[in-house]
Amino acid sequence: MPRKKRPPVAPAEYEELQENEQFISRDNIDLAITAIEEDETGEPTVWVRFSNFEDMEDAEEYAEFLEHTLALLLFETTRLQ
């Protein structure tokens, strides 16, 4: 799970996190999304690439965080109207 870091913004621009909360995104991470057709299967696929981590440890922590939360964030949320 990623360390509990504050985003790089001025203190007046964010609220303090509760003990059981953590930030789910980081402003310094670059995101690239590409739709391709897989060579082996011809299956349409969407690739998402996260880059610009400080080191491999940060990348591994973020990957572990996404492994546990990405499906929930993408597919099991509700939309407020």
Beta strands in 3-76 (DSSP E): 30-37, 44-51
The closest of 33, 25, 5, 2 to 17, measured between CA atoms, is: 5
> What is residue 8's predicted lDDT score, i.e. its pLDDT?
53
Q: Are 29 and 51 in contact (CB under 8 A)?
A: yes
Q: What's the angle, vertex CA 23, arms to CA 80 and CA 2, rounded to 5?
A: 135
- CA distances to 12, 33, 60, 63, 80 from 66, rounded to whole Å, are 28, 16, 10, 5, 23
Span 16-31, average pLDDT: 75
Name the domain count of the chain: 1
Tens-digit pLDDT profile for residues 24-58 = 666 778 889 999 998 889 999 999 999 999 899 99
> What is residue 80's predicted lDDT score, i.e. its pLDDT?
56
Does some domain include residue 81? no
Does some domain include residue 27? yes
Does some domain include residue 3? no
Does some domain include residue 50? yes
> What is residue 79's predicted lDDT score, i.e. its pLDDT?
61
Domain range for 32 is: 11-75
